[in-house]
Amino acid sequence: MSADGGRERGRLSAAVYGRVQGVGFRWFVRDRAAMLGLVGWVRNRPDGAVELVAEGRPDALEALLAELRAGPRGAVVTRVDAVHGPATGSFAEFAIRSGAHLGD
């Protein structure tokens, strides 16, 4: 049995649109992901969206997705595009990445 109680781990790739830059959204995502035991990354995109990849328990990924739809105080989320898939196991923590980072 694995360390997570035998539960399968998943991956959430998401882009969040609206007023999501300049309002602490990346810090919000990092804090929520850490509280949920998720690993991965978040970054600002040049088009004004916030992009993230998170891996962990499916229930924790769904909880993070709900948090993304609400956002922090000052944010106005108009859309969240999300794709679920299998975890890759390539992350050790949840990090805020530079907007210049191109993803995995």
Q: Which domains does the chain have, with CATH numbers?
A: 10-77 (3.30.70.100)
pLDDT at residue 19 tops 70: yes
Q: Is the dihedral of CA 44, 88, 69, 4 positive or negative?
A: negative
Catalytic residues: 26, 44
Strand order in 94-96's β-sheet?
A: 76-86, 10-19, 50-56, 39-44, 94-96
Chain-wide mean pLDDT for the chain?
91
CA distance 80 to 67: 11
- Per-residue pLDDT at 7: 63
- The pTM of this model reads 0.87
H or E element, residue 10: strand 10-19
Please tell me the least confidently modeled range out of 3-7, 24-28, 34-38, 81-85: 3-7
